[in-house]
Amino acid sequence: MNVLREVTATRYLEPLRSGGSVPGVVEADDLGTYVVKFTGSAQGRKALVAEVIVGELARALGLRFPELVLVHFDPAIADDEPHQEVRELHGASAGLNLGMDFLPGAKDFTPEIAKSFPVDPAEAGRIVWLDALTVNVDRTVHSSNLMVWPTLGTVPPRLWLIDHGAALVFHHRWDASDPAKAYDFRHHALGHYAPDVRAADAELAPKVTEELLRRIVAEVPDAWLDAEDGFATPDEARAAYVDYLHARVRASASWLPTDFPSREELAAEEALRAARTQRGRPDWLKRVPDLHGKPAAEQDWSVHLG
């Protein structure tokens, strides 16, 4: 059975403010560099549970996903952090946290990059299938949680999956969970690459066995499995994840997403949404562009900076 490696953070480098959880980049005693997601973040420990389960499932299915490690973190190594809210986050996260191997030089898979980046329908289908299985609703055209890496050298750049903390939405309300429920994936980041989800289902579904799921959920630390969900023990919680995901695999015919809009349809929908938003603004605000939903890289800050 694979077990996540444990490392100790030895040097704090910087916070990452691109997401609400404010992860930190650290060096560890194995000489590796990791992006650490902290147990004290606003998203809570369920986000870390989702990161482990979905990330390790992606790796088991042959998708590119950075190695995960368990990181022992002492807030004292980040005493020089100037921002109080970040220091408070560190103080609430002493002990075991989750680290993801840092991909140096990787770039966000933005809509601009997507215009010229080739993605095979088979690969797109596998990623969409994984997201639909694990109910990862946070891989959209505006927030892809995909990285392009490497960006230099002779090796062709590839897509890497990151950030699955918003997946497994069912574990926020176990009593209202339906393994056969379909979700709206029309605006998936890879939807306009003609993802072959049917081929992905035929290829991947047989691989998601109870044995594989048990091995993966066993890697979640006991302390991250909330007793407030009503489970008597961490193993009982693990069994619930296995049962739910295995039932969802068997119900794939009910949730398999196949209706994806084209680039042109997406652009038309975006224009219509922007027009509706603009009509609802007061006259003085109509002179400010609508930046809602756009990543920082696409926003025109010159409007605000004069």
Q: What integer pLDDT is reported at residue 159 of this predicted model?
A: 97
pLDDT at 45: 95
What would the mean pLDDT of 36-58 be, rounded to a whole number? 96
Q: Are 256 and 198 in contact (CB under 8 A)?
A: yes
Residue 175 has pLDDT above 60, yes or no: yes
In Å, what is the CA distance from 306 to each residue of 136, 147, 214, 284?
A: 39, 32, 56, 16
Cα angle value 60/64/66 (rounded, 5°): 95
Q: What is the DSSP string of 40-69?
A: TSTT-HHHHHHHHHHHHHHHHTT---PPEE
Mean pLDDT of 149-164: 90
- Collect contacts of 12-21 with beta carbons under 8 A, ≥24 apart: 12/77, 12/78, 12/80, 12/81, 15/81, 15/83, 15/86, 18/296, 19/163, 21/47, 21/165
Q: pLDDT-based confidence at 287, cuts 50/70/90?
A: low
Out of 36-50, 130-144, 178-192, 279-293, least confident range: 279-293
> Confidence class of residue 230 from pLDDT cuts 50, 70 and 90?
confident
User: What is the pLDDT, as a whole number, of residue 266?
Assistant: 76
- How is the chain split among helix, strand and coil, in percent rounded to 5? 40, 15, 45
Q: 3-state DSSP call for residue 254?
A: helix
**pLDDT tens digits, one per residue of 203-215:** 999 999 999 999 9
Mean pLDDT of 179-188: 95
Share of the chain above pLDDT 70, in %: 90
Nearest to 30, CA basis, from 126, 93, 102, 135: 102
Note the pTM of the prediction, 2 decimals: 0.87
Examine the pLDDT at 1 and tell me if it is beyond 70.
Answer: no
| Position 298 confidence tier, pLDDT thresholds 50, 70, 90 | very low
Helix 121-133 to helix 45-60 angle (10° resolution) is: 140
Note every long-range contact of 269-276, with CB atoms under 8 Å and residues 24 or more positions apart, other chains counting: none
pLDDT band at 22 (very low <50, low <70, confident <90, very high): very high
Task: Average the pLDDT over 37-65 and give the result.
Answer: 97
